[in-house]
């Protein structure tokens, strides 16, 4: 088939283009993936009974903003990287800002604590499971986001996989706050960050295999 | 060219035809520069990128520079091709040629080595017939739906899937 014939073939009856596909696919993925992460948190670990009481603590909101910032950056990056030619130039800053803020607060907390209490700020009661649980909860979100991206056209597959993992990790961490009792900044700045970094790293490795088109 | 594409998005097939025709000239120049050592494959790659642009045209944002969007797709398909053949061309990694894609054109089409029409024949009938009716014989979606005893949306879906399958076969036939 000559190229002119292909062009004629593609153009004939091409019709209107539905331009809401990208928005719909991501909305569905985030909705169902996020709901699955919340349900999984409930089924595996249970919601924390003191949840409503915690909302009076400022660090509870600090924690939400911290993980929410990663989730928001992830949504932005995933949508950007699913389109050809989308640039992610601002991403390093968007990731560094919440981390730097949390580490500043952590440094202040540690400096202000009695030496004997400092270790507890870092390890909390659940450091052994926190990162792993966030990574586990990110699985359904990650799968849903990969589905969304496969209907689009990412051209940098490692970056797109990383963005999907970051978004999945951020949303999973948000869901996990429904269970997790930890509120100390040193804990959050380390174990939550690792939990979010695991799916992001997995995305870098798996992107080329899973997102090819 | 951007204006043509935007009119095509609103259902103007003539504008879309003009857009694709101009785009194929630009793509040919772009690909030929990068595949200087394999000139007989240029047309295959041009057709593959055209098909990719067609299938993914819903991912273009009107606010986005058209050249960046087209360049990303063309580069992705070229890298994909070179990776499949196990060699890398350092030329592909120069980012400064983005505006060049829509600046250069080459109107001289030669025959592709692979025959897309033959690939089309190897599609399952449920995907092939809707493409043949609407794209080659020029029936409307409604007419094709009546002839094939399928619903209109099934025809549209089959055309879309068929073109995607065609692109996949292009990618694997090397």
Q: What is the pLDDT of residues A30-89, one digit of tens each?
A: 999 999 999 999 999 988 887 777 777 888 889 999 999 999 999 999 999 999 988 888
Range of the domain at B54: 1-113
Give the C-alpha separation, A10 to B120, whole Å. 13
Q: Residues near A175 by Cβ (< 8 Å), separated by ≥ 6? A: A34, A37, A38, A40, A41, A137
- Total domains, chain B: 2
Nearest CA to B57 out of B104, B117, B13 is that of B13
Enumerate residues 42 to 71 of chain B having a beta carbon within 8 A of any beta carbon in chain A.
Answer: 43, 46-47, 50-52, 54, 56-61, 64-65, 68-71
Interchain pair B52, A9: CB under 8 A = no
Paired tokens of A69: 């910032």
Q: What is the pTM of this model?
A: 0.85
- In chain A, the percentage of residues whose pLDDT exceeds 90 is 66
Query: Contact at 8 Å (CB) between A9 and B136?
Result: yes
Identify which of A14, A15, A153 has the shortest CB distance to residue B56. Answer: A153
CATH number of the domain that residue B76 is part of = 1.10.1740
Residue finishing a domain among B71, B89, B113: B113
Do B120 and B153 lie in a common domain?
Answer: yes
Domain presence at residue A13: no
pLDDT tens-place string over residues A92-146: 999 999 999 999 999 998 898 888 888 888 888 888 899 999 999 999 999 999 9
Nearest by Cα to A88 from A148, A167, A156:
A156
Whether residues B112 and A19 touch (CB distance < 8 A) is answered with no
Q: What is the pLDDT of residue B173?
A: 60
**B30 and B84 part of one domain:** yes
What is the per-residue pLDDT for B87? 55
ipTM at complex level: 0.85
User: Taking a C-beta distance cutoff of 8 angstroms, is the pair A189, A129 a contact?
Assistant: no
Cβ atoms < 10 Å from Cβ of A107: 13
pLDDT of the residue at B111: 65
pLDDT of residue A147: 96
Q: Which of A213, A165, A129 is nearest to A33 (CA)?
A: A165
Residue B87 buriedness (CB in 10 A; 0-12 / 13-18 / 19+): exposed
Under 8 Å between Cβ of B26 and B42: no
Q: Both B30 and B104 in a single domain? A: yes
Please tell me whether residues B85 and B139 are part of one structural domain: no
Q: Are residues B81 and B152 in the same domain?
A: no
pLDDT average per 10 residues of sequence, chain B (174 residues): 90 91 92 83 88 92 90 91 66 54 71 74 85 82 86 84 82 62
Contact A84 B134 (CB under 8 A): no
Cα–Cα distance, A75 to A69 (Å, whole number) = 10
Ramachandran region, residue A90 (left: φ > 0; alpha: ψ -120 to 50; beta: rest): alpha
Measured over the CA atoms of residue B120, residue B121, residue B126 and residue B129, the dihedral's sign is positive
Sign, CA torsion A13/A9/B164/A27: negative
């Amino acid at each position: 088939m000559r190229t002119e014939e292909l062009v004629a073939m593609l153009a004939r009856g091409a019709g209107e283009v539905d331009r809401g596909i990208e928005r719909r696919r991501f909305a569905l993925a985030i909705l169902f993936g996020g709901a699955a992460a919340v349900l999984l948190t409930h089924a595996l670990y249970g919601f924390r009974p003191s949840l409503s009481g915690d909302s009076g603590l400022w660090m509870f909101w600090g924690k939400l903003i911290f993980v929410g910032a990663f989730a928001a950056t992830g949504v932005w990056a995933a949508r950007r990287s699913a389109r050809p030619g989308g640039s992610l130039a601002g991403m390093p800053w968007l990731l560094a800002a919440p981390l730097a803020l949390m580490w500043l607060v952590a440094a202040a907390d540690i400096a202000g604590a009695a030496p004997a209490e400092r270790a507890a700020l870092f390890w909390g009661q659940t450091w052994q499971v926190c990162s792993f649980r966030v990574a586990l909860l990110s699985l359904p979100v990650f799968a849903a986001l990969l589905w969304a991206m496969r209907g689009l056209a990412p051209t940098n597959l490692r970056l797109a996989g990383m963005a999907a993992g970051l978004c999945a990790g951020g949303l999973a961490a948000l869901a996990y706050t429904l269970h997790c009792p930890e509120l100390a900044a040193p804990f959050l700045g380390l174990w939550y960050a690792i939990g979010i970094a695991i799916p992001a790293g997995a995305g870098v490795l798996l992107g080329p295999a899973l997102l090819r088109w | 060219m951007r204006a043509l594409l935007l009119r095509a998005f609103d259902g103007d097939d003539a504008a879309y035809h003009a857009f694709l025709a101009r785009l194929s000239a630009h793509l040919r120049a772009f690909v030929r520069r990068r595949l200087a050592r394999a000139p007989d494959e240029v047309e295959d790659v041009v057709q593959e990128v055209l098909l990719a642009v067609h299938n993914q045209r819903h991912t273009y944002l009107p606010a986005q520079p058209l050249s960046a969007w087209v360049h990303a797709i063309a580069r992705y398909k070229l890298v994909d091709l070179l990776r499949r053949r196990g060699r890398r061309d350092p030329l592909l990694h120069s980012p400064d040629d983005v505006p060049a894609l829509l600046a250069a054109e080459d109107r001289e089409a030669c025959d592709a080595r692979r025959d897309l029409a033959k690939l089309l024949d190897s599609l399952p009938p449920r995907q092939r017939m809707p493409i043949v009716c609407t794209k080659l014989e020029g029936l409307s979606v409604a007419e094709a739906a009546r002839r094939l005893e399928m619903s209109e949306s099934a025809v549209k879906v089959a055309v879309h899937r068929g073109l995607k399958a065609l692109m996949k076969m292009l990618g694997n036939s090397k």
